[in-house]
A and B are shown apart, each in its own frame.
Chain A
Amino acid sequence: AQKVTQAQTEISVVEKEDVTLDCVYETRDTTYYLFWYKQPPSGELVFLIRRNSFDEQNEISGRYSWNFQKSTSSFNFTITASQVVDSAVYFCALSEANTGTASKLTFGTGTRLQVTL
Chain B
Amino acid sequence: NAGVTQTPKFRVLKTGQSMTLLCAQDMNHEYMYWYRQDPGMGLRLIHYSVGEGTTAKGEVPDGYNVSRLKKQNFLLGLESAAPSQTSVYFCASSYRGLAGGSSEQFFGPGTRLTVL
Contact = CB atoms under 8 A, between A and B. Distances in A.
Interface residues of A, number: 25
A99 interface: yes
Q: How large is the interface on B (under 10, 10 to 19, 20 to 34, 35 or more residues)?
A: 20 to 34
A16 interface: no
Q: Is the interface of A mostly helix, strand, loop or mixed?
A: loop
Interface string A39-75: 0000111010010000000000000000000000000
Given A102-B33, A105-B45, A110-B42, A47 B106 contact: yes
A105 B35 CA distance: 10
A108 B44 CA distance: 10
B66 to A, nearest CB: 13
Contact of A100 (B33, B49, B100): B100
Contact of A47 (B43, B96, B104, B110): B104
Given A44-B110, A50-B104, A104 B45 contact: yes
A107 B42 contact: yes
Nearest to A50: B104
B102 interface: yes
B109 A43 contact: yes
Given A105-B43, A108-B42, A100 B106 contact: no
Interface of B: 30-31, 33, 35, 40-45, 48-50, 58-59, 88, 90, 92, 94, 96, 99-110
